[in-house]
């Protein structure tokens, strides 16, 4: 069965064509994919109908990546629905455009049509939630990705002058006017602009750049991706205070992360899903001159904060590499997996928690190894760290963008339950032969968490395998990873296990035993 790609490819270069090229190259590594490429001599008015009609050839698997602009997505979906519905059921659809999901969600007939695709990939969790809430269950997240660069970023040492860069189309709707106004006030900060200038804005922009000594225009960057990362890496902060209403997921935010830049962005559309405010950048609540000025000043005056944001930005780039998703596409297209454990897509990211003394004997090393294989799952650690394991633990955490350490929890019992309830799965792959009855397993049940535990000591008495958790027959990273991925893949099974876990907590409430204890202490006189 053939795999045919329906979509535009560079040139010209743009968000849709670049993404299609990336997906095509990714899938072509394991499958033979054909596409109707536009010859230079062929007019678009001829090419586009031919390209769409090729999707009607019977018994095909299709990869569809067409822009939502100009109703192209609606045209191809409607055509397939009425003329080649069997092809749809074998096909993957990549939604290009940030607003298309909201339009589809309001139209029942279109929901019915788009639901026929085997899988629809959107770029953010918000987009997916919109469609899932509308009743579509064939939706997954595939972020705006890039290929993993095969090189080390040349980290720029901080100097007395912070360097800010704008890298997009130069027009007021992208917030360029706001940046220039801030540049007037912050004369000790360097501002550089890259990108094509909107014709109607060109004269005004060039005039303002010439009037400011700390501002320069570098033209349109034409180098390769690797060259772009190297160019970006000489700066400290990427600026994107966009107010463009149709802003999707800007590729430059991903590229800046790869280059290790802190990012200051507006809250327009999906920016706050890509940049975590206070962690890897700043999300401006009100996209104003004053807010942008204060954000830049804060970073320019605090080198430690700037370094932290740059590092966390670089770490967060790990989820945006296309190589992470190869196996998912392979599976959907009928191929095998290339890794020991493959990624799955779910309505919400699975959250796993460890809540105990952090040491190897408690199985923390196994969890960290599982985290390297389960890249789309979140891992959080609470507890005091064994001094002999501190250096190794912190070194491992730093390499994992999907893992974090939250210190020692100091709240009361009710607060522990509320904190645990934020997660889905409690992990406790202890290696201790003399492990007693861990209180955290009881607390995990009260909070309604599924529990994955080793077979050591009394764990199997507290956790019934396949009922309210999973008991590992072999306590190793492969079994632990597979157990995690099972719960991630089958959310209905996870829901049932969590329900049973919470139900099993009832026997651990002290109230159930008070009367019996009182009866023993105060026997009834005969």
Average pLDDT value for residue range 109-119: 94
What pLDDT was estimated at residue 317? 85
Q: Which two tokens stand for residue 72?
A: 């192209």
Torsion on CA atoms 478, 479, 485, 491, rounded to nearest 10? 180
Please tell me whether residues 364 and 497 are part of one structural domain: yes
Name residues whose C-beta falls within 8 Å of residue 204's C-beta, 6 or more positions apart in sequence.
Answer: none
Please tell me whether residues 306 and 405 are part of one structural domain: no
| Residue 352 resides in a domain | yes
pLDDT tier, 490 (very low <50, low <70, confident <90, very high otherwise): confident
User: Measured between alpha carbons, how far is 29 from 176 in angstroms, rounded to an integer?
Assistant: 40
User: Measured between alpha carbons, how far is 3 from 332 in angstroms, rounded to an integer?
Assistant: 12
- Show the 3-state SS of 165-202: EEECCECHHHCHHHHHHHHHHCCCCEEEEECCECHHHH
| Residue 524 resides in a domain | no
What pLDDT was estimated at residue 208? 96
| pLDDT, tens only, 240-278 | 999 998 888 899 999 999 999 999 999 998 999 999 999
Q: Identify the domain boundary among 107, 141, 175.
A: 141
Average pLDDT value for residue range 143-151: 83
| Residue 333 resides in a domain | no
| pLDDT, tens only, 365-408 | 999 999 998 888 999 999 999 999 999 999 999 999 999 999 99
pLDDT tier, 413 (very low <50, low <70, confident <90, very high otherwise): low
Pick the closest to residue 477 from 333, 368, 346, 370 (CA basis): 370
Domain count, the chain: 3
Please tell me whether residues 265 and 359 are part of one structural domain: no
Higher pLDDT pick, 451 / 509 = 451
Strand-pair partners of 403: 379
What pLDDT was estimated at residue 415? 77
What pLDDT was estimated at residue 341? 27
Looking at mean pLDDT, say which of 37-41, 184-188, 509-513 comes out highest. Answer: 184-188
What pLDDT was estimated at residue 345? 33
Higher pLDDT pick, 172 / 48 = 172
| Residue 517 resides in a domain | no
Please tell me whether residues 12 and 133 are part of one structural domain: yes
pLDDT over 60 (residue 30): yes
Name residues whose C-beta falls within 8 Å of residue 523's C-beta, 6 or more positions apart in sequence.
Answer: none
Please tell me whether residues 94 and 222 are part of one structural domain: no
My answer on whether omega of the bond before 429 falls inside 30° of 0, hence cis, is: no
User: Measured between alpha carbons, how far is 55 from 79 in angstroms, rounded to an integer?
Assistant: 9
What pLDDT was estimated at residue 77? 92
| Residue 203 resides in a domain | yes
What pLDDT was estimated at residue 233? 92
Please tell me whether residues 190 and 221 are part of one structural domain: yes
**CATH classification at residue 242:** 3.40.50.2000
Conformation bin of residue 480: beta by default, left when phi > 0, alpha when psi is -120 to 50? alpha
| pLDDT, tens only, 329-364 | 877 887 544 432 223 333 468 999 999 999 999 999
What pLDDT was estimated at residue 8? 84
Please tell me whether residues 304 and 376 are part of one structural domain: no
Angle, helices 44-53 vs 72-83, to 10°: value is 40
What pLDDT was estimated at residue 13? 76
| Residue 500 resides in a domain | yes
pLDDT over 50 (residue 456): yes
| Residue 425 resides in a domain | yes
Please give the order of strands across the beta sheet that includes 163-167: 215-217, 190-194, 163-167, 237-240, 262-266, 281-284
Please tell me whether residues 450 and 491 are part of one structural domain: yes
Average pLDDT value for residue range 274-301: 95
User: Measured between alpha carbons, how far is 16 from 294 in angstroms, rounded to an integer?
Assistant: 35
What does the chain come to in residues? 526
137 CB neighbour count, 10 Å cutoff:
8
pLDDT over 80 (residue 520): no
Looking at mean pLDDT, say which of 145-149, 366-370, 462-466 comes out highest. Answer: 366-370
pLDDT over 90 (residue 63): yes
106 CB neighbour count, 10 Å cutoff:
10
User: Measured between alpha carbons, how far is 86 from 73 in angstroms, rounded to an integer?
Assistant: 18
Please tell me whether residues 394 and 498 are part of one structural domain: yes
Please tell me whether residues 136 and 224 are part of one structural domain: no
pLDDT tier, 149 (very low <50, low <70, confident <90, very high otherwise): confident
Please tell me whether residues 196 and 309 are part of one structural domain: yes
pLDDT tier, 11 (very low <50, low <70, confident <90, very high otherwise): confident
Q: What's the chain's average pLDDT?
A: 86
User: What's phi and psi for 264, nearest 5 deg?
Assistant: -115, 115
pLDDT over 70 (residue 154): no
The domain of 385 spans: 344-508
Higher pLDDT pick, 308 / 337 = 308
Please tell me whether residues 385 and 450 are part of one structural domain: yes
| Residue 522 resides in a domain | no
DSSP for 346-375 reads -SS--EEEEES-BSGGGTHHHHHHHHHH-T
What is the maximal distance between C-alpha atoms in the chain? 107
Pick the closest to residue 353 from 403, 319, 399 (CA basis): 403
């Amino acid at each position: 069965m053939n795999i045919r790609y329906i979509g535009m490819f560079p040139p010209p270069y743009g968000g849709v064509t670049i993404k299609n090229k990336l997906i095509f190259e990714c899938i072509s590594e394991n499958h033979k994919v054909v596409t109707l490429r536009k010859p230079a001599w062929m007019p678009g008015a001829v090419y586009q109908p031919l390209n769409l009609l090729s999707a009607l050839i019977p018994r095909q698997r299709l990869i569809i990546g067409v822009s939502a602009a100009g109703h192209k997505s609606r045209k191809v979906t409607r055509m397939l629905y009425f003329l080649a519905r069997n092809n749809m059921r074998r096909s993957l659809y990549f939604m290009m455009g940030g607003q298309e999901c909201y339009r589809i969600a309001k139209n029942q007939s279109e929901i019915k049509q788009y639901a026929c695709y085997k899988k629809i990939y959107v770029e953010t969790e918000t987009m997916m939630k919109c469609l899932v809430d509308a009743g579509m269950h064939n939706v997954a997240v595939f972020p705006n990705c890039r290929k993993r660069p095969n090189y080390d970023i040349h980290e720029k040492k901080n100097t007395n002058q912070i360097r800010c860069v704008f890298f997009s189309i130069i027009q007021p709707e992208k917030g360029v006017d706001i940046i220039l106004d801030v540049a007037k006030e912050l004369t000790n900060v360097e501002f550089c602009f890259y990108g094509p200038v909107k014709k109607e804005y060109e004269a005004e922009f060039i005039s303002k750049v010439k009037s400011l000594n700390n501002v320069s225009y570098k033209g349109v960057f034409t180098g390769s991706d690797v060259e772009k990362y190297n160019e970006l890496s000489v700066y400290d902060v990427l600026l994107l205070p966009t107010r463009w209403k149709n802003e999707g997921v800007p590729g430059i935010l991903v590229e800046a992360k790869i280059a290790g830049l802190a990012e200051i962005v507006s809250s327009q559309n999906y920016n706050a899903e890509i940049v975590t405010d206070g962690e890897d950048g700043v999300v401006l609540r009100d996209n104003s001159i004053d807010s942008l000025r204060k954000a830049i000043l804060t970073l320019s005056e605090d080198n430690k904060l700037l370094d932290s944001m740059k590092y966390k930005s670089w770490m967060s780039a790990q989820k945006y590499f296309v190589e992470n998703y190869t196996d998912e596409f392979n599976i959907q297209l009928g191929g095998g997996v290339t890794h020991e454990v493959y990624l799955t897509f779910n309505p919400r990211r699975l959250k796993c928690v460890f809540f105990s003394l952090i040491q190897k004997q408690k199985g923390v090393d196994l969890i960290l190894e599982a985290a390297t294989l389960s890249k789309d799952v979140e891992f959080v650690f609470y507890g005091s760290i064994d001094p002999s394991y501190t250096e190794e633990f912190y070194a491992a955490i730093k390499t994992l963008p999907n893992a974090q350490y939250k210190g020692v929890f100091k709240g009361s019992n009710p607060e522990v339950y509320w904190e645990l309830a934020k997660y889905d799965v409690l992990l406790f792959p202890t290696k201790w032969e003399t492990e007693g009855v861990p209180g955290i397993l009881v607390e995990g049940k009260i909070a309604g968490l599924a529990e994955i535990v080793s077979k050591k000591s009394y764990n199997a008495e507290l956790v019934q395998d396949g009922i309210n958790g999973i008991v590992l027959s072999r306590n190793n990273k492969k079994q632990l990873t597979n157990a995690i991925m099972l719960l991630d893949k089958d959310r209905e099974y996870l829901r049932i296990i969590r329900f049973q876990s919470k139900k099993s907590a009832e026997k651990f409430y002290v109230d159930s035993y008070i009367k019996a204890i009182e009866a023993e202490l105060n026997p009834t006189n005969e």
